[in-house]
Amino acid sequence: MAIGSDSSGSLLDTGARAMGPLVALDPRVRILAALFFAVSVVTLSDTPALLAAVGVAFLVAALAGLRWRTVARRLLVVDMLMLFILASLPFSVPGTPILEWHGLVASAEGFEQAIHILLKANAILLASLGLVGALDGTTLGRSLARLRMPPALVHLLLFTVRYLDVIGREYARLRTAMRVRGFQPGNNWHTYRTLGYLVGMLLVRSLERSERILAAMRCRGFTGQILLLDTLRFRPIDALFAGLVILVCAALLSFDAWFGGFH
């Protein structure tokens, strides 16, 4: 299997294609930077340090040239999902009571933990979108292969990105066929049974297509190895960016430890 350059859009469709200075960096450095930043943010435990991390993440997103409308939609989806989960946290963590509702007591410590989780999630998501979200699937797969990730994981990523659109078109054809036959969804067993048939047929057709693809790849000499057609070069600008990321993360951790010393 040969991996070369690809002109497709970004993996997460963040709109950062060749728009910001971060796009020119080695994708391996960007992946490792996103991972290092995420690990650093997870270890933070004080609100000021987490707010600083969110600010750094916003700066990364700005340097990546992301479309803020797209970023806002993604953050809104994640935050709405988390709010339903975090709403119960103040009532389940013991501590200083600050609110009572129908016999349930919410603690200040619970509210603080909920805010911390929300800030961590937003900081990590913003930084990941800025550093990794603008990479297309082929570039991400090539970079992971260069980082010595397991070949099976790289294959899974590449084929998932490549054939999601194919499966989507197959789903659209099946839905069109259902509408032509007069299917009207409703809250009844016929609808549930029909949707179950739809999912089953989609799985069967996906399995059949995967078998044809595997046979075609074997005919072309595929042996399970990834052949990298182009090379990634680690340049001085990449080393400078990696050092800057380390310094920023160290500063966040130091600020968190310094602020925590006042408690």
pLDDT digits (tens, 9 = 90+) for 89-107: 777 777 677 777 766 777 7
Report DSSP letters for the chain, one per residue.
-EE----S--TT--S-TTTSGGGGS-HHHHHHHHHHHHHHHHH--SHHHHHHHHHHHHHHHHHHT--HHHHHHHHHHHHHHHHHHHTTHHHHS-S-EEEEETTEEEEHHHHHHHHHHHHHHHHHHHHHHHHTTTS-HHHHHHHHHHTT--HHHHHHHHHHHHHHHHHHHHHHHHHHHHHHTT----SSHHHHHHHHHHHHHHHHHHHHHHHHHHHHHHHTT--SPPEE-S-----HHHHHHHHHHHHHHHHHHHHHHHHHTT-
pLDDT digits (tens, 9 = 90+) for 42-68: 999 888 899 999 999 999 888 888 787
What pLDDT is recorded for position 160? 80
Q: What is the mean pLDDT of residues 145-171?
A: 82
**Domain parsing of the chain, residue ranges:** 10-144+233-260, 150-228
Using 50, 70 and 90 to split pLDDT, how confident is the model at 218?
Answer: confident
Using 50, 70 and 90 to split pLDDT, how confident is the model at 248?
Answer: very high
